[in-house]
């Protein structure tokens, strides 16, 4: 239930690599016990659960999906984390308290914001973040010079209204909003490995006739996963983790090196 790129250090299986991704995000944010963490577009809640369980933060996730909110809330109840983890059904633009969060993260949501709205996206998150806090933005980017991120097939059946921009466009808008760019990492090859594993799992589970997934849906997703893997493998698409800081009097609150 984690629909974003995993993080492979060698040849781990998908489950292990997804847990490594969750922990990698937490370590990049330098989460500390008691931090107030906001996950913008929290999906099924895996990251806020991991951060609350293993890093002792006060985690809040927001989503526009009722099913995701219900699922994540059930997981929070199951793990007994109601005192430090919650999920809310709301748009990030409905959050208005300035300087509320120590750390903010967004994984695989920025692709759906839209190029015309990106400036406001970064400004709003900058406002929600405390001075000295950090924001980790994890999302797909398009190669410079590409005219179309996805073809009509993907735009119609998989990601309607999704819009990708180049890394330079995204970081430029983040800087204009007031952020300092501290760290940028490409996980393009990790996307290839993730998508290929997803496709193999799908292919090993051909839906029987009584399944809720009909054959045409199964074929659609098989084709999408193969074509997306090709896009990342050839460099047309990329996946960037960008760590942004809201400095306070020039202090970013980050260590001098990446040793941690």
Predicted confidence pLDDT, tens digits, the chain (260 residues): 898 999 999 877 999 999 999 999 999 999 999 999 999 999 999 999 999 999 999 999 999 999 999 999 999 999 999 999 999 999 999 999 999 999 999 999 999 999 999 999 999 999 999 999 999 999 999 988 876 666 788 889 998 888 999 999 999 999 999 999 999 999 999 999 999 999 999 998 877 766 777 888 899 999 999 999 999 999 999 999 999 999 999 999 899 999 98
53 domain-assigned: yes
Q: Quick: pLDDT tens for 155-186.
A: 899 988 889 999 999 999 999 999 999 999 99
In a domain, 22, yes or no: no
Whether residue 54 lies inside any domain: the answer is yes
Q: How many domains does the chain divide into?
A: 1
pLDDT tens per residue, range 78-87: 999 999 999 9
In a domain, 132, yes or no: yes
- Is there a domain that residue 13 lies in? no
Backbone angles phi, psi at 102, to 5 degrees: -75, -35
**C-beta separation of 232 from 191 below 8 A:** yes
Q: Which domain holds residue 169?
A: 29-189+235-245
Query: Is residue 92 one of the residues assigned to a domain?
Result: yes
Query: Is 218 domain-assigned?
Result: no
Within 10 A of 33 (CB to CB), how many other CB atoms are there?
9
Which CATH number do you get for residue 48? 3.40.50.150
pTM of the model: 0.95
Report yes or no on 251 lying in a domain.
no
């Amino acid at each position: 239930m984690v629909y974003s790129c995993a993080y492979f250090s060698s040849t781990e299986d998908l489950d292990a690599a997804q847990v490594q991704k969750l922990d990698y995000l937490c370590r990049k944010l330098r989460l500390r016990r008691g931090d107030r963490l906001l996950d913008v577009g929290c999906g099924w809640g895996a990251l806020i659960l991991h951060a609350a369980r293993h890093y002792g933060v006060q985690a809040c996730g927001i989503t526009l999906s009722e099913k995701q909110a219900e699922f994540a809330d059930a997981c929070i109840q199951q793990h007994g984390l109601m005192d430090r983890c919650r999920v809310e059904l709301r748009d990030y633009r409905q959050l208005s308290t300035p300087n509320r969060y120590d750390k903010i993260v967004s994984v695989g949501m920025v692709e759906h914001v839209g190029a015309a709205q990106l400036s406001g996206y970064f400004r709003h998150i900058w406002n929600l973040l405390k001075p000295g806090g950090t924001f980790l933005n994890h999302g797909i980017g398009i190669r410079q010079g590409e005219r179309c991120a996805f073809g009509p097939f993907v735009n119609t059946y998989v990601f309607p209204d999704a819009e990708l921009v180049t890394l330079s466009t995204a970081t430029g808008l983040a800087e204009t909003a007031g952020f300092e760019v501290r760290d940028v990492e490409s996980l393009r090859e990790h996307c290839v490995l993730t998508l290929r594993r997803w496709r193999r799992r799908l292919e090993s589970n051909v839906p029987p006739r009584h399944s809720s997934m009909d054959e045409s849906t199964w074929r659609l997703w098989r084709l999408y996963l193969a074509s997306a893997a090709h896009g990342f493998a050839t460099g047309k698409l990329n996946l960037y983790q960008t760590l942004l800081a809201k400095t306070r009097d020039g202090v970013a609150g980050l260590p001098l090196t990446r040793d941690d």
